[in-house]
Structure 1
Amino acid sequence: MSQPMQFGTYPSLRDRVVVISGGASGIGEGIVEAFAEQGARVAFLDILDDAANALVERLAGKSVKFYHCDLLDIGAVKQACAQIVDELGTVDVLVNNAGNDTRHDLEAVTEEMWDRTLNLNVRHQFFLAQALLPGMRAQKRGSIINLSSIAWMIPSTDLPAYVTSKSSIIGLTRALAHRVGMDGVRVNSVSPGCIWTERQRKLWFTPEYAAQMMERQALKIELQPADVARMILFLAADDSAGISNQSFVVDGGWV
């Protein structure tokens, strides 16, 4: 009889200040919950007020705060970061999670759609890092985890702007890692595969797609947000102190 899975606890994450973008739903929600369970002080940014407030209520008793922020508005991003630092102190961990993978045909892409997709998926990652790095560098410690995707590795062909944005995150990660490593700050990226979020189930996970996914994955399991969150916990904790400038894939062995 198989034993139930048991997962790690990271003492170094207790009381650390963690900022997560797009934390109200999907993978982001799983990341917020994972850090809260580790005893971290979690601040997450989103525009989905109802979902965010419901998450905070569900995690009552944990140190979790929601900050309404439109990540397309860089001024608002900077203001939110300043407020978080003022209220919680120096940020130890930044998880750049927010993104949008709405499918789009090559022929249907407009200049406006292209700019919005790249701005939403990658621009905020840089400016959140820029805003929070001074505190990390001053304390000679910090971890930044940028969320990419296996979409650019496969590559997916039905969302070219998204694929472009997610591939650029790898370059951003490498550039930042070498720039701030001398100050003790680590920068890595995580590329999820097919994660069974509520949004994915509702919009795209047809029986045909699910069958195709299972055929391609080495592990015949439905990956959940918690599977991604556990990799991020490790990269945020002191256990990964020697790891930076790396890209990790959580896809059940697809690529």
Structure 2
Amino acid sequence: MDETRKKTAVHPDLRGASVFITGGGAGIGAALTEAFLQQGAKVAFVQRSDVSVFCDRMETRHGNRPLFIRCDVTDEPALRAAMAKAARAHGPITVLINNAANDTRHDTLTTSSAEWDALIAVNLKSYFLTTQIAVPMMQAAGGGAIVNFSSISYMVGMGEMTAYTTANGAITAMTRGHAREFGGEGIRVNAVAPGWVLTERQLRLWADEEALAAFLPKQCLGRHLEPMDLAGPVLFLASEASAMITGQCLAVDGGVVTVAA
């Protein structure tokens, strides 16, 4: 990545903000954690795997260590405990980023009921639960911002991941409903819908040379997305720079949806 693309706008209102991110220790989530740390925010995040090394690196790089809480977002008691811990450490959560997801490929005809429930639990139910937990804190604080991660996958009709695309369509609907439900209390709720972002997981499992070459012409912009490409849009939606924006789903995909439309 060149130095110009590393530059990120500064949002002074995010300095000192209590931010909670799901899946904030890897992939897009790690890029978001770092971006908020750069803004001077107090960041807590949950991740299933041990990412203490990542936290060490963030502290060395930015002098601002995130609070890592090991947690599976489908474990409701553990999730509630993690968010309570974050609030005790950093103050009431006023910025919630729902990023955790599982896009494992699956065949509709062979997916069991239990597998469907497990995928919906991480890709949709966890977003509802974190919102349910965070909103009372935001109400007490006089407002807040929620940014949910959807995906263009449901917009372009991707196959072999029906639970994932179903969840992401529902996330967009939930975003709009919650924007209406909580807007009167100064709580904004928006979503971002990434295109194909080349995280380590994508590169390891699906992004071979042939697939990458076939996908790029679908974009308007001529390079593939990287995790940090999501940082600017999320910071914008979390900050007062977007004070009158709510109930929206912003496609960050290099122009795939524009072409598809």
TM > 0.5: yes
Matched, 1:32 2:33: yes
CA contact (8 A) 1:151 1:163 kept: yes
Q: Distance in 1 between matches of 2:4 and 2:28?
A: 23
Q: Which amino acid aligns with 1:28?
A: G
Q: Measured at CA, do residues 44 and 114 of structure 1 come closer, stay the same or move farther in structure 2, by a change above 3 Å?
A: same
Alignment of 1:31-50 (within 5 A): 31-49=32-50
Partner of 1:55: 54
Partner of 1:207: 209
Mean CA deviation greater in 6-15 or 164-173? 6-15
Task: Find 1:229's aligned residue among 231, 236, 244.
Answer: 231
Q: Distance in 2 between matches of 1:199 and 1:188?
A: 25
Partner of 2:94: 92
Give 1:3 shift.
Answer: 9.1
Q: Which amino acid aligns with 1:203?
A: L
Q: Distance in 1 between matches of 2:16 and 2:45?
A: 15
CA contact (8 A) 2:147 2:237 kept: yes
Give the match's secondary structure for 2:109. Answer: helix
> 1:90-123: CA deviations, max 9, x gaps?
1110000000101112222110111000001010
Alignment of 1:1-255 (within 5 A): 4-5=4-5, 6-49=7-50, 52-60=51-59, 61-255=63-257
Give 1:208 shift.
Answer: 1.6
Q: Distance in 1 between matches of 2:8 and 2:127?
A: 28
State, as a whole percentage, how many aligned pairs show the same letter.
Answer: 39
CA contact (8 A) 1:39 1:63 kept: no
Mean CA deviation greater in 65-74 or 93-102? 65-74
Q: Distance in 2 between matches of 1:226 and 1:132?
A: 25
Question: How many residues get paired?
Answer: 252
Q: Distance in 1 between matches of 2:3 and 2:56?
A: 32
Give the match's secondary structure for 1:4. Answer: helix
Q: Which amino acid aligns with 1:214?
A: L
Q: Distance in 2 between matches of 1:116 and 1:4?
A: 41
Q: Distance in 2 between matches of 1:225 and 1:177?
A: 26
Q: Measured at CA, do residues 181 and 136 of structure 1 come closer, stay the same or move farther in structure 2, by a change above 3 Å?
A: same
Unaligned runs of 5+ in 2: none
CA contact (8 A) 2:101 2:122 kept: yes
TM-score for the superposition, normalised by structure 2: 0.94
Give the match's secondary structure for 1:150. Answer: coil
Q: CA RMSD in A?
A: 1.3
Q: Distance in 2 between matches of 1:86 and 1:103?
A: 38
Mean CA deviation greater in 2-11 or 201-210? 2-11
Unaligned runs of 5+ in 1: none
Give the match's secondary structure for 2:137. Answer: helix
Q: Distance in 2 between matches of 1:87 and 1:220?
A: 43
